[in-house]
Amino acid sequence: MGAGLYATPRHQLLRDAEQQENTRPPIAALIRDPRFDRLEWNSLDDLVWMTARWTGQRSVGTYPEIQARSEDPVVRDKALAEFRRRIRSSIPLWLNSTPAPSRP
């Protein structure tokens, strides 16, 4: 099993957190924490979809999944760093926005 290729406890925590009320402030704190820079791509992808559901739009843009899965650590790290930057910059879009309707 490769790093970040399968569900991790962090990945599951994010998926479960979305179903709870008042999740946005703790998720924003998690994203602002310096340890966010070590979060694997699977959980980053969950955050993008979570925030997209909150805002009704894909505010972070397209995820560079191919680059993030690259065997070349320089390519992979650069793609993940850009993705984290986009997620951090999206906080104002969803932190205080009205919740989108829940999925069936």
Mean pLDDT of the chain: 77
What pLDDT score does 30 carry? 92
Does the structure show a pLDDT above 70 at 81? yes
Residues 100 and 54: beta-carbon distance below 8 Å: yes
Residues 103 and 52: beta-carbon distance below 8 Å: no
Q: What is the pLDDT of residues 29-74, one digit of tens each?
A: 999 999 999 887 778 888 888 888 887 776 555 555 666 667 788 8
What pLDDT score does 1 carry? 38
- Percentage of residues in the chain having pLDDT higher than 90: 16
